[in-house]
Every structure is written in structure tokens, then in C-alpha cells.
Amino acid sequence: MARKHVLAVLGIAAVVSAAVFTASAASKTSRTAADDPNNANLTYWYWAESDAPGANNWLKKEVASYEKAHPKVKITVVIQSTDTLTSAFTTAAQTKSGPDIATQWATLPTLTPAWSGAG
């Protein structure tokens, strides 16, 4: 896969992740100052380097750019391992914990927790 195509796919994934986060935050019935998307500390689970070498460095630059544009937002990127990716998300779904944002490819291990009502 060409680097340009991989970066485009990753960019789309980041936008989709942000949209999911925004939709999730907007769906809360009672909003507090902690719910302000412009003033937040977010944890972002990310996995892509094994599929797209250089993706981790690309994301690091994109996060820095976003934080510069939104100075009250801090994003902590937690790189996920290919070997533990599925089990980490399964555990997060079961315990109703985990990241605020995550990038996953749409595969059966990714979609199963959503289908089972975890979220």
C-alpha cells in the first residue's frame, strides 16, 4: 500500500474516531464542565505501526498539531501492541473502561464488543 494511501486512511480513521468521541459526548443528558470537549484530558489507544510503518510518528505530529490548536486539550496516546490489541479492547468492553478515543480497523474482534452492547 502506498504511503500516501496509508496516511489518507489513517487520517480518515482519526476523523472517524473524533466524530465518535464527539457524538458520545453530545449524547450525555447532563453536561458538566468536565464534558467540555474543548477542555479535556483524553486517552487515545492507537494501533497501526505494524500495518503502516511510520504511523506512530505521523500520529504524534497530528496530536501535537491538534493540541496546539486546542490548548486546553491534552491527548495521551497509548500505543497498542498487535499481540494484545484484541484482549485489551475485550477487557475494556467488559469492564466498561478504557480509552476515550481509539483507532481500530473494522474487523470481527473490533465490532463484536459493539454488537454485544459494550460501549
pLDDT in tens, 8-50: 555 555 554 554 444 444 444 445 556 777 899 999 999 888 8
Instruction: Look at residue 19 in the predicted model and tell me its pLDDT.
Output: 46
Instruction: Look at residue 26 in the predicted model and tell me its pLDDT.
Output: 47
Number of folded domains that form the chain = 1
Q: Is the pLDDT of residue 93 over 90?
A: no
Give the domain extent around 67.
Answer: 3-115
The CATH number of whichever domain residue 53 belongs to comes to 3.40.190.10
Q: Is the pLDDT of residue 51 over 60?
A: yes
C-beta of residue 37 within 8 angstroms of C-beta of residue 70: no
Instruction: Look at residue 8 in the predicted model and tell me its pLDDT.
Output: 53
Q: Give the whole-angstrom CA distance, residue 93 versus residue 91.
A: 5
Q: Give the whole-angstrom CA distance, residue 91 versus residue 105.
A: 18
Instruction: Look at residue 28 in the predicted model and tell me its pLDDT.
Output: 45
